[in-house]
Amino acid sequence: MIHELGFISCCNRDDILSGLESIEDDIAKGRFEWRENKDVRSNIVEALVQRVGEPARKLDATISQYVQKLTILRLWFHDSVDTIVNQIEQLQVELVLLALRNWGFVVPLLFRRTDWILLGEFIFSKVELLEKDVSRLRSCKNEIDSTLLVTFPLCSADGYLDRLSNDGSHLLQNAVVNFGNMVIGDIAIDISSLKQEISYWISFRFLAPNDGVRESFSFLEKNVSDLSMFTTIQRDFSFTCYGLQDTCQRFFAVYIIVQQILKAATDFAKHASFDNKKVQSFPSIGYIKTGSSDIHTVKLNLPKQVSDKDQIAKATQDFRSRSDEVMKSLLD
């Protein structure tokens, strides 16, 4: 594996393996001279350099550089995950505040125009979805941490090299792919779908116009459009379906765009306010039904007994109770 990854040539590999075998034999027979104030790895590497010479010295230097690069990569992933998590959490806060500022309003569903939903409940569903993204990002961060904690085992140097070149490289690749898929796939999809909903609200002219809303939404539209240039927003997108160079370029481009989209969505939620003259505060006509997804919606078509005051009063009371439940969930 070490040779296949380009660390050493075939000739140097054979020399190093021969040197390691002789060191192992000396250790087994008690002939190996352990130097004080040196750890096991340093003892073995120095002995290997003495017996093999330049190939062992070059291999040790190459591995040291490799480990340094892994450390830099780990730090970059830490910072990248933390950056996106912080942005998502800021967006969640602003979405909750948006719901609280416009409490009790109902808005139309994008894909079911005859159904309306509590704004608070819609936002709560988005906040929960984003929370799942945060949880997965943190899991990915932990996975990368466990992958990149590369240490020399106490048994032998060749065992370390084999693990570094074999299991470690595959685990690292999987961790990178998972992170890339999350940014390019799930997170991009979730925040792009939020943009679709916002566009739908704007088409109904539910939002009170102000410069902050116009600027942030324009910025949001631009970045979502830029995002579509790099990837099709669909659930089955795979980070591994392109060549390595193209994939890396796509990832870094999308990584930056996703941050811009999160910022734009956060700014929009911060400045947005609904026009209470155009948005229903509760279903004065209509009724409440609970769907299979446990989301309460308001049907625009009237019930048969619309003149029945008790039925209307009960529907309104149920709606207000549901509104209170959603508020409690958001505040929790």
Is 43 in a helix, a strand, or coil?
helix
Of 111-125, 127-141, 212-226, the one with minimum mean pLDDT is 111-125
**In the chain, which residues fall in CATH 1.20.200.10?**
73-271
Q: How confident is the model at residue 157 (pLDDT cuts 50, 70, 90)?
A: very low
Token readout for 288 is 């409440």
Q: What pLDDT, on the 0 to 100 scale, is given for residue 288?
A: 41
pLDDT tens digits, residue range 175-210? 667 777 777 677 877 877 888 888 877 777 778 888
Average pLDDT over residues 99-103: 83
Token readout for 31 is 């002939």
What pTM, to 2 d.p., does this model score?
0.68
Average pLDDT over residues 158-182: 59
- Contact call for residues 106 and 279 (beta carbons, < 8 A): yes
Distance CA 281, CA 273 (A): 14
DSSP 242: S
Q: What pLDDT, on the 0 to 100 scale, is given for residue 264?
A: 92
Q: What pLDDT, on the 0 to 100 scale, is given for residue 326?
A: 61
**Is the model's pLDDT at 55 over the cut of 90?**
no
**Is the model's pLDDT at 88 over the cut of 50?**
yes
pLDDT tens digits, residue range 314-324? 555 555 566 56
Topology (CATH level 3) of domain 73-271? Fumarase C; Chain A, domain 2 (1.20.200)
Distance CA 105, CA 111 (A): 19
| Average pLDDT score over the chain | 72
Q: What pLDDT, on the 0 to 100 scale, is given for residue 148?
A: 57
Q: Percentage of the chain with pLDDT > 70?
A: 64
Secondary element (H or E) of residue 159: helix 157-165
